[in-house]
């Protein structure tokens, strides 16, 4: 036992000593600089060798929170150079309500001609820009970075917001060898500590005392000290069919619950979501915008007094605004001047959507903001309300018969269609000035999408010729319009389709590009070489519409499967048999489901007079499949793919 304790003490001393020597800013080893590959993950483009954050309190005309960050990262491949670009967000509401980013420094280290070449971050590579409203960010880029470079940087944030401690993410999209978060909190402050992620980290808690200097006086305070540490964390890379990646990184966050200053009454910060919403509504850049009116008054009055149905009036007001104010492609939660956006004819998403709410109210509708956290940032936390977790809002409007959602900044999206990033299953509809009628809403099922393909197939002159009519509605139509804009013209789109499927396309037309309330309808004819044999022929009539492979082949999965939205894909085919051939064998019709129609596929075949009719359908009603249900989804998809790839056997008729 004594020998074990001696070994443990020596080991701890070695680790601490090594940290003191090499895990300090400006201290690197030759091995770190010469490193060319990370053995534990040879595919890694970069690796975090060490990072540490400190959060602690000081007193300067009141408590302030200091947040020190140090990181050492090895760039292994050209794609990893992006980790030399660092962004530090901060908030500035003015005197005594601001954060300041300071003490920024950094180095790059390269091994050149047998020695270490060291390059320091120059101030000219440090920039500040305004994200929106009172929210800013400092950006800096470590210079002279390429594959093989070792970089390190540090910075400090000084915050007047003493009830807020910054969160810390231990895990990244690249491997992390060691990540430490060291937090010291005076006993006056009580925080709820929230953790998430699949990979655990160690937490050591102890009580410490700290002396705060207040002018020429001092204050001794008891503090809670938390040392959180994670080692050898694998990269958590973006996995297919995962919408909320931020929910799965190992991380820790802090939410204030109470404050007890000696000689003062206890102050509770036990926020509810109603408290958060009231805070938003009290903000002039949010709630203040909900009190404005008179925008496009005459046009709105004309629509409101028309004989149209409510849904038609809402759609007309929506389209009116889109014709007046264009989106500047800046996504925002706050807006400073709606009148300026109208005058300029351009605005950010918040400005446009606030104007829409005010126009709908002017027309007599119950319109309100629906606040959310975008999919890339993670779900809103139900149990730990926080205004910092909200980064966007869309517009909700309630009628006696329906509830509709919209985002007027997206020109290609009709009512009840949102960008995929905002199709979240957890948003807050903020009703009324007090927010006490607010409710959680699910935006993922507001308008199920439909793709319907109708094909007529015939054979002539050694070719398979297919006449196609495709109808896309709701989310599918929106995505088509967004994708269509990526091409210079229609010919470029046709060329891309021809190359993708090795086909030749003619008679291409598309309707609905400029009428977002209507579906997209594509019509075209394609042909591909199809020489027929003299005896047996194997054909799959689904041609380019068949499902090629199963995306869920892995035996197990670490993360849940999250589809973007519910959808139904239908394909109806009439295939005229080649002259002189008859059906020898065809697959059996089949239907399969997951649970109570969470997902369903149907595959139907029917012989006709020298023809074949086929109808296939896959319908996805449930979009979230936890790890425990992954096996059902994997097997369901495997059966669907196999069925779609089955062939029909034709044989030459005998005379």
Q: Which residue has the tokens 């029917």?
A: 606
Ranges assigned E (strand) in 113-216: 115-120, 126-132, 135-141, 150-159, 168-169, 176-186, 189-196, 202-214
The CA angle 363-365-368, to the nearest 5 degrees, is: 120
Answer left, alpha or beta for residue 232, where phi above 0 means left and psi between -120 and 50 means alpha: left
The answer to whether residues 605 and 638 belong to one domain is yes
Give yes or no: residues 426 and 456 share one domain.
no
Kindly report the average pLDDT of the chain as a whole number: 89
CA angle 445, 335, 162 (to 5 degrees): 95
For 125-165, how does the pLDDT look when each residue is reduced to its tens digit (9 = 90+)?
Answer: 899 998 777 889 999 999 999 999 999 999 999 999 988 89
Tokens representing 592?
Answer: 């399969």
User: Which of 441, 473, 489 is the last residue in one of the domains?
Assistant: 441
Residue the block writes with tokens 């530090």:
88
pLDDT of residue 542: 86
Do 67 and 131 sit in the same domain of this protein?
Answer: yes
Q: Are 509 and 393 in a shared domain?
A: no
pLDDT at 10: 36
Among residues 211, 239, 267, the one where a domain terminates is 267
**Cα of 9 vs its chain's centroid, Å:** 45
The alpha carbon of residue 598 and the mean position of all alpha carbons in its chain are separated, in whole angstroms, by: 24
- Checking if the pLDDT of 529 tops 90, the result is no
Is it the case that residue 3 has pLDDT exceeding 50? no
**408: containing domain:** 273-441
How many Å from the N-terminal Cα to the C-terminal Cα in the chain? 95
Q: Based on the domain organization, do 92 and 149 belong to the same domain?
A: yes
Confidence of residue 432 (pLDDT cuts 50, 70, 90): low
Q: Which residues make Cβ contacts (< 8 Å) with residue 55, sequence separation at least 6? A: 65, 66, 67, 165, 166, 181, 182, 183, 184
Separation of alpha carbons 21 and 8, rounded Å: 20
Number of Cβ within 10 Å of residue 314's Cβ equals 26
Q: Which of 299, 305, 293, 302 is nearest to 322 (CA)?
A: 299
pLDDT at 78: 96
Q: Which residue has the higher pLDDT, 653 or 362?
A: 362
Pairing of strands 176-186, 46-59: parallel
Residues in the chain: 655
For residues 363 and 489, membership in a common domain is answered with no
What tens digit of pLDDT does each residue of 262-283 get?
Answer: 777 777 776 788 888 888 898 8
Match 């950010």 to its residue by tokens.
Answer: 348
Same domain for 586 and 484: yes
Please tell me the least confidently modeled range out of 6-20, 94-108, 605-619: 6-20
Do 134 and 227 fall into the same domain? Answer: yes
4 pLDDT more than 70: no
What average pLDDT score do residues 619-637 get? 92
Token representation of residue 637: 């998809």
Clarify whether residues 520 and 550 are in a common domain: yes
368: domain CATH number is 3.10.620.30
More confident residue, 597 or 64: 64
* 621 and 606 inside one domain: yes
Q: What percent of the chain lies above the pLDDT cut of 70?
A: 95
Residue 433 has a pLDDT of 55
- What's the average model confidence in pLDDT over 186-212? 90
Comparing CA positions, the residue from 155, 137, 150, 138 lying closest to residue 69 is 155
CA angle 488, 475, 277 (to 5 degrees): 115
Q: Which of 202, 172, 159 is nearest to 68 (CA)?
A: 159
Both 282 and 259 in one domain: the answer is no
CATH code, domain carrying 543: 2.60.120.1130
* Residue that finishes a domain, picked among 235, 267, 299: 267
Tell me the pLDDT tens digit for each residue of 364-422: 999 999 999 999 888 998 877 888 889 999 999 999 989 999 999 999 999 999 999 99
167 with 294, same domain: the answer is no
Task: Give the least confident one: 1-15, 203-217, 278-292, 618-632.
Answer: 1-15
Q: Which of 8-12, 356-360, 435-439, 464-468 has the lowest mean pLDDT?
A: 8-12
Residues near 482 by beta carbon (within 8 Å), at least 6 away in sequence? 412
Confidence of residue 458 (pLDDT cuts 50, 70, 90): very high
**Cβ partners under 8 Å of residue 257, min gap 6:** 190, 191, 192, 268, 269, 270
Residue 520: partners with Cβ closer than 8 Å, 6 or more residues away: 470, 471, 472, 473, 476, 477, 480, 481, 510, 511, 512, 513
Local confidence band at 436 (pLDDT 50, 70, 90 cut-offs): low
Q: Is the pLDDT of residue 596 over 60?
A: yes
Please indicate whether residue 597 or residue 15 has the higher confidence score (pLDDT): 597
Burial 339-368 (b: 16+ CB within 10 A, else e): eebbeeebbbbbbbbbbbbbbbbbbebebb
User: How many domains, the chain?
Assistant: 3
CATH of the domain at 129: 2.60.40.3140
Residue 467 has pLDDT above 90, yes or no: yes
């Amino acid at each position: 036992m004594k020998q074990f304790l001696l070994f443990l003490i020596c080991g701890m001393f070695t680790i601490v000593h090594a940290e003191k020597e090499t895990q300090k800013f400006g201290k690197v080893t030759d091995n770190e600089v010469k490193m060319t590959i990370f053995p534990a993950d040879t595919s890694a483009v970069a690796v975090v060798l060490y990072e540490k954050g400190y959060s602690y309190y000081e007193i300067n005309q009141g408590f302030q929170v200091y947040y020190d960050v140090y990181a050492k990262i090895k760039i292994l491949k050209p794609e990893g150079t992006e980790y030399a670009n660092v962004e530090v967000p901060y908030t500035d509401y003015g005197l005594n309500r601001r954060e300041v980013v300071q003490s920024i420094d950094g180095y790059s280290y390269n091994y050149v001609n047998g020695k270490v070449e060291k390059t320091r971050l120059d101030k000219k590579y440090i920039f500040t820009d305004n994200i929106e409203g009172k929210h800013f960010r400092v950006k800096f880029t470590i210079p002279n970075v390429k594959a093989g470079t070792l970089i390190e940087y540090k910075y400090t944030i000084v915050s007047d917001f003493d009830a807020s401690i910054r969160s810390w993410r231990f895990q990244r999209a690249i491997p992390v060898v060691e990540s430490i978060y060291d937090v010291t909190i005076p006993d006056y402050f009580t925080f709820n500590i929230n953790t998430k992620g699949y990979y655990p980290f160690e937490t050591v808690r102890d009580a410490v005392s700290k002396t705060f200097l207040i002018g020429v006086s001092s204050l001794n305070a008891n503090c809670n000290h938390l040392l959180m540490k994670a080692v050898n964390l694998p990269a958590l890379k973006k996995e297919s069919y995962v919408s909320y990646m931020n929910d799965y990184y190992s991380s820790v966050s802090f939410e204030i619950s109470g404050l007890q200053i000696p000689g003062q009454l206890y102050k509770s910060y036990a926020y509810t979501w109603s408290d958060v919403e009231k805070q938003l509504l009290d903000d002039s850049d949010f709630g203040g915008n909900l009190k404005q009116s008179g925008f496009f008054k005459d046009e709105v009055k004309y629509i409101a007094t028309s004989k149209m149905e409510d849904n038609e009036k809402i759609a007309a007001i929506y389209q009116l605004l889109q014709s007046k104010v264009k989106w500047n492609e800046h996504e925002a939660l706050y807006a400073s001047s709606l009148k300026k956006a109208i005058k300029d004819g351009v605005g950010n998403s918040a400005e446009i959507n606030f104007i829409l709410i005010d126009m709908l109210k002017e027309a007599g509708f119950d319109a309100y903001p629906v606040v959310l956290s975008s999919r890339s940032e993670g779900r809103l936390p139900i149990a730990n309300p926080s205004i910092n977790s909200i980064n966007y809002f869309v517009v909700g409007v309630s009628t006696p018969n329906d509830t509709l959602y919209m985002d007027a900044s997206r020109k290609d999206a009709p009512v009840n269609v949102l960008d995929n990033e905002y199709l979240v299953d957890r948003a807050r509809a903020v009703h009324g000035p007090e927010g006490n009628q607010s409710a959680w809403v699910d935006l993922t099922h507001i308008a199920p999408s439909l793709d319907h393909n109708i094909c007529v197939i015939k054979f002539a002159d050694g070719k398979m010729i297919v006449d196609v009519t495709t109808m896309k509605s709701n989310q599918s139509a929106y995505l088509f319009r967004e994708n269509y804009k990526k091409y210079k013209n229609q010919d470029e789109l046709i060329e891309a389709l021809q190359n993708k499927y090795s086909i030749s396309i003619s008679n291409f037309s598309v309707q609905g590009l400029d009428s977002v309330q209507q579906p997209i309808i594509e019509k075209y004819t394609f042909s591909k070489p199809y020489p027929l044999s003299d005896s047996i022929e194997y054909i799959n009539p689904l041609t380019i519409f068949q499902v090629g492979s199963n995306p869920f082949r892995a035996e197990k999965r670490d993360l849940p499967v999250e589809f973007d939205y519910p959808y139904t894909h239908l394909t109806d085919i009439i295939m005229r048999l080649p002259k002189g051939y008859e059906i020898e064998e065809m697959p059996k019709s089949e239907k399969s489901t997951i649970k109570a129609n969470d997902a369903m596929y149907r595959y139907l075949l029917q012989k006709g007079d020298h023809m074949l009719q086929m109808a296939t359908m896959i319908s996805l009603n449930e979009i979230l499949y936890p790890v425990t249900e992954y096996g059902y989804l994997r097997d369901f998809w495997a059966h669907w793919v196999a069925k779609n790839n089955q062939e029909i056997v034709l044989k030459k008729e005998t005379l």
